Structure 1
Amino acid sequence: MRRAFLALLAFSLAACGREATTALESRLTTDRGPSAEGLRVPGWNEVRCFDAAARRKRDPDGDTMDNACEDALAAAFAPGLKVAVDCNYDPGVGRQGGEYYYGVQPYWYRSSEVAPLERRVRLAYLPAYYWEDCGSPTEGHVPFGDGHDGDSEFFIVDVQFNDATRRWATQQIFLSAHCGTLTGQRCMWYPDPTSTTVTPTGTAQPFSWIDGKVRGAPIIWVAEGKHSNYSTREDCNGGGLAGSDTCERDDRFYRFPVRLARQNIWSRAIPHQACVGASLWGSTRVAPGTTECFWPRRTFYGWQGLNLGSTAYSDILAQYAGW
Structure 2
Amino acid sequence: MAGNFDIELSHCGKRYGAVTVLDDVSLQVRRGEFITVLGPSGCGKTTTLRVIGGFIIPDSGHVSIRGREVTRLPPYRRNIGVVFQNYALWPHMTVAEILGFGLRIRKLGREEIARRVDRALDMVQLTGLKDRYPRELSGGQQQRVAMARALAIDPEVIILDEPLSNLDRRLREELRIELKRLQRSLGVTMLFVTHDQEEALSMSDQVVVMQSGRIQQIADPRTVYERPANRFVAGFLGSANFLPGELVENAGEGRARIRLGNGAVVGAYAPSVKPAGEKVTVIIRPEWLVLERQGDQPPANQLAGTVGDVIYEGSAVRYGIKLNHDPETSVFLQERSNVDVLKPGDKVRINVANAVIATD
Higher helix residue share: 2
Higher strand residue share: 2
TM-score range, shorter chain: under 0.3
- TM-score by length of structure 2 reads 0.24
Q: State the structure with bigger RCO (CA 8 A, min sep 6), 1 or 2.
A: 1
- TM-score by length of structure 1 reads 0.26
Structure of higher CA gyration radius = 2
